[in-house]
């Protein structure tokens, strides 16, 4: 009894101390924190690891940017101008990830030399995701696959870094791009003729524009559906922007379906002659048609009858 | 040739009886007897015109096939045929029926392609044939009328082609019709009326889709009828006047040297028809032409880059492309020189020039004789130079019509090509004239050398005193005859006679112009003639006895 009385007394005594209220609040907070920690697994340590990874990616993106882009676009992506104030390279603030993905994955950026228009070319090794990986030698294959994965990561890091400077359209998802084989090619053809053919030609063979610029051909299979989507979204170089109010997602998918399906379609009439219309037809008519007939005429007139019956 | 009348061994009754039947009613034997032995000279370039004739026959046959399914109607329909990518698209019946011919009619695509290739070759061969006739002077008296018919045929061929490729009502041909509208409207005073008259209202539909049916009637009825008439006239005149011939051995102005129509030339020309048909079938089977399903139906709101017409309209396209944007506005009316000049200027110069040329040449040279033996191009340097200038002018404008394709394929700036053609279309013909004339004169000089000194034999001879010289031998007989076909320029008539009276035809400004032109035509002519031998030439001296014998005729 005494013992108990003592202990109860002691607790009671502590309870009345001036610091008791603070102690209880502190203990309750500690308990809540402990329970919370028990119930949510991905906290603190995981979060911290993620943050370091993202920071490292961003750092990688920044390094790639500084190395490959900053010399023209400026260290903060603000663009550069020549002495007269004419822009040398545009500002990248607000261009977004889709634009970076398009320009870098098609090899247009980093540009090799300034000109009327940056040509599509093989990307530099750091960004080249099109490298050959089907080697027989497993070691070589593993290395090529590693290099490819690194290039994909580099592009992703770079576009995240540029996107972090200021927003812009993100890279379209697989769902947005859709399956070109299932799209509405009839609608796409109509939209293509109205919006695209005036520069890219009926069948996407490309065409000349003013001042040394040109609309690149869409007829080669290395122009991927995602790149076509990105081009419509961001309007690279001389191309206008076709945002979602001009051409809805469904319209864009239809256009991609038309481009992909028509370039895969065989020519029912024989050789397509480059699918550029009457210029190559005229050339073929004169060179092959007239050429063969002139040869035939020469052959026929060179034939002398062996013995012409005198009559 | 008279032996043909000799009675032959009696033919079998089965052959003889029908022949006698026909002969008694039509009297055709005499006609054939007179004509089947007609002699045709042999040269490959004489076959160029035949390509046009045979292409035309193939055009008629394939065209008839196409009319069996084609619907010349602009009424709107929704495509439900077998070409998947255009299913459910609204289009005119003309376009839909062309798709039907292409994808659902057996052999339809092949027929369409042969028809189109035949049109390309028809125009190309007329062009090549006219160049041959021009450069050999075959248009000279008495053949001026046939020359004019040829020019009319080529001009009408352009229209026929334009109407023909406009019929399917696809996006490309619609663009061509849009330009046709612009050209019609650019004509001063009558432009708008002419446009409304042809199109039956506003482009492209008119009041009730009149345009395509009208083009169809013109394309399959009126123009082919005119062609048939003109080609018949062309052939009959040619048959009557006989063919010109190249200056070869045995060929004179009085007598044609060659093979008789039956059996030799008939076999050759028959075989050549088969060749033409074969080449067209090859092209039609293996080279795709005018793939209208790729172009899509016509829509005034759409256009494609690289929109070009067929080749024979390319010269118009090119002149339109390089023309500066000039317009004059006066009294509230706009005169669109930017369309009017390219539409009428270049072809006006070329066709009018070509039509007037035989008469101009006759007036300048005063040569009123009939000619049946062709000139070698080098022997008429002014004519050849002018011809090459025209070819250059036409060729540059033609290329300019493809300037965007050139810019795109060869990675040059589009503006650079425009300026290149603007400059060269003026400088080029002048350069071509000068260069061609110098080349002709150089060839004349070399001919004179061959006749005067013989050809180098490649045999080096040492003379007794140790000198080396190359022996020259007279040219082969055939070569000599061809070279000597050159008619040397006659010495210029004195401007005034002994009494100071000007020569007839040299008075007045026209007379002065004429004598100046006549001088320009001949002043630098190099006489090609046989020299006296033994004129100090080493090689000849050594072989004097032998070569004299061979050279003297």
Predicted confidence at residue A7, as pLDDT, reads 66
Q: Is A196 on the interface with B (CB under 8 A)?
A: no
Distance from CA of A174 to the nearest CA of B (A): 23
- Verify whether the Cβ–Cβ distance B288 to A211 is below 8 Å: no
Distance spanning both ends of chain A, measured CA to CA:
160
| A5 within domain boundaries | no
Same domain for A154 and A178, yes or no, is no
Per-residue pLDDT, B331: 85
In a domain, B177, yes or no: no
In a domain, A25, yes or no: no
Let me know if residue B267 belongs to a domain: no
Residue B516 lies in a domain: yes
Same domain? For A199 and A156 the reply is no
Question: CA A80, A85, A90 angle in degrees (round to 5)?
Answer: 35
Using a CB–CB cutoff of 8 Å, tell me whether A262 touches chain B. Answer: yes
Give the gap in angstroms from C-alpha A215 to the nearest C-alpha of chain B: 9
Helix (H, G, I), strand (E, B) or coil at A202: coil
Omega before residue B142 within 30° of 0, cis = yes
pLDDT class of A3 with cuts at 50, 70, 90: low
Across the interface, do A311 and B87 touch by the CB < 8 Å criterion?
no
Nearest-CA distance B414 → chain A (Å): 6
Alpha carbons B257 and B174: distance in angstroms, whole number = 51
| Neighboring chain A residues of B91 at a CB cutoff of 8 Å | none
Q: How near does any CA of chain A get to the CA of B341, in Å? A: 23
| A253 part of a folded domain | yes
> Is A282 touching B (CB cutoff 8 A)?
yes
Report residue B74: phi and psi, to 5°.
Answer: -100, 10
Q: Are residues A62 and A140 in the same domain?
A: yes
User: Do A287 and A209 touch, CB atoms closer than 8 A?
Assistant: no
Q: What is the pLDDT of residues B306-341, one digit of tens each?
A: 889 999 999 999 999 999 999 988 888 888 999 999
Residues from chain B that touch A261, judged by Cβ atoms under 8 A, are 85
Residue of chain B nearest A119, judged by CA positions: B411
CATH classification at residue A89: 1.10.760
Nearest CA in chain A to B401: A279
* The last residue of a domain, from among A111, A139, A164: A164
Helix, coil or strand: residue B360:
helix
What is the extent of the structural domain holding B455? 447-488+502-551
pLDDT at site A141: 87
> Inter-chain contact A208–B272, Cβ cutoff 8 Å?
no
Closest CA to A127 of A91, A159, A171, A99: A159
Mutate which: A116, A189, A258, A289, vs B, most B CBs within 10 A: A289
Report if residue A22 sits inside a domain. Answer: no
Per residue in A11-24, is it b (16+ CB within 10 Å) or e — as a string?
A: eeeeeeeeeeeeee
Determine whether the interchain pair A286/B124 forms a contact, defined as Cβ–Cβ distance below 8 Å. Answer: yes
Put simply, the answer to whether B121 touches A285 (Cβ < 8 Å) is yes
Is A3 part of a structural domain of the chain? no
Choose the final residue of a domain: A137, A164, A191. A164
In DSSP notation, B315-357 reads: HHHHHHHHS----EEETTEEE-HHHHHHHHHHHHHHHHHHHHH
Is residue B463 situated within a structural domain? yes
Strand ranges for B406-523 from DSSP E: 455-462, 468-473
Cβ-based contacts of B84 with chain A (< 8 Å) = 185
- Model pLDDT for residues A177-220, shown as the tens digit of each residue: 888 888 888 999 999 999 999 999 988 888 888 888 889 999 88
Interchain contact A273–B (C-beta under 8 A): yes
Q: Is position A215 within any domain?
A: yes
Q: Indicate yes or no: CB of B414 within 8 angstroms of CB of A210.
A: yes
Buried b (16+ CB within 10 A) or exposed e, B434-449: eebbebbbebbeebbe
B47, B264, B405 member nearest A308 (Cβ)? B264
Q: Under DSSP, is residue B465 helix (H, G, I), strand (E, B) or coil?
A: coil
Q: Classify the C-alpha dihedral B300-B343-B211-B88 as positive or negative.
A: negative
Distance from CA of B5 to the nearest CA of A (A): 9
Structural domains in chain A (count): 2
Q: How far is A224 from chain B (nearest CA, A)?
A: 20
Which regions in chain B score pLDDT beneath 50? 1-7, 534-553
Q: Tell me whether residues A308 and B89 touch, CB distance under 8 A.
A: no
A205 with A225, same domain? yes
Beta carbons of A269 and B113 less than 8 Å apart: yes
d(CA B338, CA B183): 10
Residue B413 counted as domain residue: no
Residues of chain A neighbouring B288 (CB-CB closer than 8 A): 267-273
Q: Does A181 touch chain B (CB under 8 A)?
A: no
Contact A293 B51 (CB under 8 A): yes
Residue contact B283–A285, C-beta within 8 A: yes
Cβ–Cβ of B289/A296 closer than 8 Å? no
Mapping DSSP onto H, E and C, the string for B33-46 reads: HHHCCCEECCCHHH
A260 token code pair: 């992909």
Q: Do A271 and B287 touch (CB under 8 A)?
A: yes
**Which long-range contacts (C-beta less than 8 Å, at least 24 apart) are formed by A162-165?**
A162/A61, A162/A65, A162/A69, A162/A77, A162/A92, A162/A95, A162/A96, A162/A97, A162/A100, A163/A96, A163/A97, A163/A100, A164/A58, A164/A61, A165/A76, A165/A77, A165/A92, A165/A93, A165/A94
Per the structure block, which two tokens stand in for A156?
């992703």
For A168, residues 6+ apart whose C-beta sits below 8 A from its C-beta are A94, A95, A96, A97, A98, A99, A234
Cβ-Cβ contacts under 8 Å for B487 (sequence gap 6 or more):
B379
Residue A89's H or E segment, with its range, is strand A87-89
Q: Within B242-265, where are the H helices?
A: none
Do the domain assignments include residue A311? no
* B265: nearest Cα among B38, B55, B57: B38
- Cα–Cα distance, B292 to B165 (Å, whole number): 10
Helix (H), strand (E) at residue A207: strand A207-208
Closest to A158 (Cα-Cα) out of A117, A189, A122, A124? A124
Instruction: Please report residues of B whose CB lies closer than 8 A to that of A276.
Output: 306, 405
ipTM for this model:
0.88
Size of interface A-B (CB pairs under 8 A): 204
Concatenated DSSP letters of A123-158: PPGGG--------SSHHHHHHHHHHHHHHHHHHHHH
Spell out which residues of chain A touch residue B290, defining contact as CB-CB under 8 Å: 278, 281
Question: Taking each helix axis from N to C terminus, what angle separates B108-135 and B337-365, rounded to the nearest 10 degrees?
Answer: 40
Residues with Cβ < 8 Å from B547, sequence gap 6 or more? B454, B472, B473, B474, B533, B540
pLDDT value for B441: 95
Q: Alpha helices, DSSP H only, in chain A?
A: 2-15, 20-39, 44-68, 70-73, 96-105, 138-164, 174-177, 185-195, 197-200, 225-234, 249-264, 278-284, 291-302
Instruction: Measure CB to CB from residue A281 to each of B289, B301, B413 and give the nearest one.
Output: B289
Does residue A108 belong to any structural domain of this protein?
yes
Question: Is A193 within 8 Å of B299 when comparing Cβ atoms?
Answer: yes
For residues A33 and B399, which has the higher predicted lDDT (pLDDT)? B399
Task: Answer whether B413 sits within 8 Å of A212, measured CB to CB.
Answer: yes
Q: How many domains does chain B have?
A: 1
Q: A216, B418 in Cβ contact below 8 A? A: no
Please tell me the distance from the alpha carbon of residue B505 to that of residue B516, in angstroms, as a whole number.
Answer: 12
Structure-derived torsion over alpha carbons of residues B453, B455, B456, B460, reported in degrees to the nearest 10: -60
Assign residue A198 the CATH number of its domain: 1.10.760.10
* Closest residue in A to B124 (Cα–Cα): A286
Query: What is the b/e burial string over A110-125, where b = at least 16 CB atoms within 10 angstroms of the residue's CB?
Result: bbeeeeebbeeeebee
**Residues B350, B10: Cα–Cα separation, whole Å:** 58
With contact defined as beta carbons under 8 Å apart, do B62 and B101 qualify? no
A298 to chain B: closest CA residue: B44
Contact B146, B302 (CB under 8 A): no
* Distance separating alpha carbons of residues B436 and A237, to the nearest angstrom: 47
Domain check: are A205 and A236 in the same one? yes
Nearest CB to B404 within list A203, A208, A265: A208
Q: How far apart are CA A110 and CA A92, in angstroms?
A: 13
**Predicted pLDDT at A43:** 54
Of the candidates B311, B289, B295, the residue with the CA atom closest to the CA atom of residue B115: B289
Which residues on B lie below 8 Å from A193 (Cβ)?
A: 171, 296, 299, 302, 304
The answer to whether position B414 is within a domain reads no
Task: Give the whole-angstrom CA distance, residue B1 versus residue A73.
Answer: 90
- Find, in chain A, the residue whose alpha carbon is nearest to that of B85: A186
Domain ranges, residue A62: 53-164
Do residue A123 and residue A188 come from a single domain? no
Task: Give the model's confidence band at A6: pLDDT under 50 very low, under 70 low, under 90 confident, else very high.
Answer: low
> Which of B85, B117, B415 lies closest to A285 in CB terms?
B117
Would an 8 Å CB–CB cutoff place A266 in contact with chain B? no
CA distance B73 to B71: 6
Distance from CA of A266 to the nearest CA of B (A): 11
Overall size of chain B counted in residues: 553
* A116 shares a domain with A80: yes
Q: Which of A103, A137, A164 is the last residue of a domain?
A: A164
Pairing of strands B328-330, B259-260: unpaired
pLDDT at B181: 92
Does A301 contact B3 at a Cβ distance shorter than 8 Å? no
Q: Is A185 on the interface with B (CB under 8 A)?
A: yes
User: How close is the nearest chain B Cα to the Cα of A141, in Å?
Assistant: 37
Q: Is A269 on the interface with B (CB under 8 A)?
A: yes
> Which residue carries 């070009």 as its tokens?
B308
Instruction: List, for residues A63-90, the tens digit of each pLDDT value.
Output: 888 888 888 888 888 888 888 878 788 8
Contact call for residues B229 and B222 (beta carbons, < 8 A): no
């Amino acid at each position: 009894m005494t013992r108990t009385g003592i202990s109860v007394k002691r607790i009671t005594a502590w309870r009345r101390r001036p610091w008791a209220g603070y102690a209880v609040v502190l203990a309750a907070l500690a308990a809540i924190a402990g329970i919370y920690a028990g119930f949510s697994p991905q906290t603190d340590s995981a979060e911290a690891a993620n943050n370091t990874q993202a920071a490292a990616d961003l750092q990688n993106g920044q390094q790639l940017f500084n190395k490959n882009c900053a010399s023209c676009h400026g260290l903060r992506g603000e663009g550069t101008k020549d002495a007269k104030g004419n822009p040398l390279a545009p500002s990248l603030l607000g261009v977004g990830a889709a634009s970076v993905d398009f320009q870098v994955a098609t090899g247009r950026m980093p540009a090799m030399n300034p000109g009327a228009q940056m040509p599509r070319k093989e990307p530099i090794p750091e960004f080249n995701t099109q490298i050959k990986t089907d080697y027989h030698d497993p070691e070589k294959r593993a290395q090529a696959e590693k290099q490819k994965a690194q290039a994909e990561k580099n592009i992703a890091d770079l576009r995240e870094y540029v996107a972090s400077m200021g927003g812009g359209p993100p890279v379209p998802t697989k769902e947005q791009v859709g399956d070109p084989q299932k799209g509405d090619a009839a609608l796409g053809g109509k939209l293509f003729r109205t919006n695209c053919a005036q520069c890219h030609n009926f069948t996407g063979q490309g065409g000349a524009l003013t001042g040394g610029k040109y609309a690149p051909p869409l007829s080669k299979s290395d122009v991927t559906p995602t790149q076509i989507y990105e081009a419509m979204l961001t309007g690279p170089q001389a191309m206008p922007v076709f945002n979602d109010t001009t051409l809805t997602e469904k319209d864009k998918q239809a256009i991609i379906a038309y481009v992909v399906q028509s370039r895969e379609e065989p020519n029912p009439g024989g050789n397509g002659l480059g699918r550029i219309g009457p210029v190559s037809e005229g050339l073929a008519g004169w060179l092959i048609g007239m050429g063969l007939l002139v040869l035939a005429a020469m052959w026929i007139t060179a034939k002398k009858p062996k013995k012409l019956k005198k009559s | 040739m008279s032996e043909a009348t000799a009675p032959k061994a009696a033919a079998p009754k089965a052959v003889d009886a029908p022949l006698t039947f026909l002969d008694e009613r039509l009297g055709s034997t005499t006609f054939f007897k007179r004509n089947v032995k007609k002699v045709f000279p042999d040269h490959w370039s004489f076959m160029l015109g035949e390509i046009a004739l045979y292409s035309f026959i193939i055009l008629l046959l394939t065209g008839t096939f196409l009319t069996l399914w084609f619907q010349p109607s602009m009424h709107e329909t929704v495509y439900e045929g077998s070409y998947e990518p255009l299913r459910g698209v609204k289009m005119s019946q003309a376009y839909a029926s062309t798709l039907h011919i292409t994808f659902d009619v057996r052999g339809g695509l092949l027929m369409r392609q042969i028809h189109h290739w035949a049109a390309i070759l028809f125009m190309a061969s007329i062009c090549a044939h006219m160049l041959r006739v021009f450069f050999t002077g075959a248009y000279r008296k008495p053949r001026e009328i046939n020359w004019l018919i040829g020019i009319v045929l080529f001009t009408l061929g352009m229209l026929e082609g334009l109407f023909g490729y406009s019929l399917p009502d696809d996006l490309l041909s619609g663009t061509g019709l849009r330009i046709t509208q612009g050209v019609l409207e650019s004509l001063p005073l009558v432009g708008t009326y002419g446009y409304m008259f042809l199109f039956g209202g506003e482009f492209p539909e008119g009041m009730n889709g009149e345009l395509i049916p009208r083009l169809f009637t013109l394309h399959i009825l009126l123009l082919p009828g005119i062609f048939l008439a003109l080609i018949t006239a062309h052939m009959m005149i040619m048959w009557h006047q006989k063919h010109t011939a190249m200056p070869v051995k045995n060929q004179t102005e009085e007598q044609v040297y060659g093979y008789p129509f039956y059996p030799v030339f008939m076999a050759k020309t028959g075989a050549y028809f088969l060749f033409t048909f074969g080449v067209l079938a090859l092209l039609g089977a293996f080279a795709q032409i005018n793939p209208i399903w790729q172009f899509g139906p016509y829509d005034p709101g759409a256009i494609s880059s690289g929109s070009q017409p067929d080749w024979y309209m390319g010269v118009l396209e090119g002149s339109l492309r390089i023309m500066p944007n000039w317009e004059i506005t006066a009294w509230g009316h706009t005169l669109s020189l930017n369309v009017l000049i390219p539409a009428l200027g270049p072809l006006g110069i070329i066709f009018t020039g070509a039509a007037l040329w035989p008469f101009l040449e006759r007036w300048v040279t005063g040569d009123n004789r009939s000619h049946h033996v062709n000139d070698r191009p080098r022997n008429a340097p002014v004519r050849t130079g002018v011809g090459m200038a025209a070819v250059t002018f036409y060729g540059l404008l033609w290329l300019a019509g493809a300037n965007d394709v050139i810019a795109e394929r060869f990675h040059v700036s589009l503006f650079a090509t425009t300026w290149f053609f603007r400059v060269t279309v003026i400088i080029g013909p002048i350069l071509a004239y000068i260069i061609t004339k110098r080349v002709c004169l150089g060839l004349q000089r070399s001919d004179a050398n061959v006749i005067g000194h013989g050809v180098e034999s490649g045999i080096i001879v040492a003379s007794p005193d140790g000198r080396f010289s190359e022996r020259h031998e007279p040219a082969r007989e055939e070569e000599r005859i061809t070279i000597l076909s050159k008619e040397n320029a006659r010495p210029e008539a004195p401007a005034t006679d002994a009494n100071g009276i000007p020569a007839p035809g040299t008075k007045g400004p026209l007379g002065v112009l004429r004598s100046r032109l006549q001088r320009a035509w001949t002043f630098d002519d190099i006489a090609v003639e046989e020299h006296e031998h033994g004129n100090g030439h080493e090689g000849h001296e050594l072989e004097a006895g032998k070569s004299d014998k061979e050279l003297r005729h």
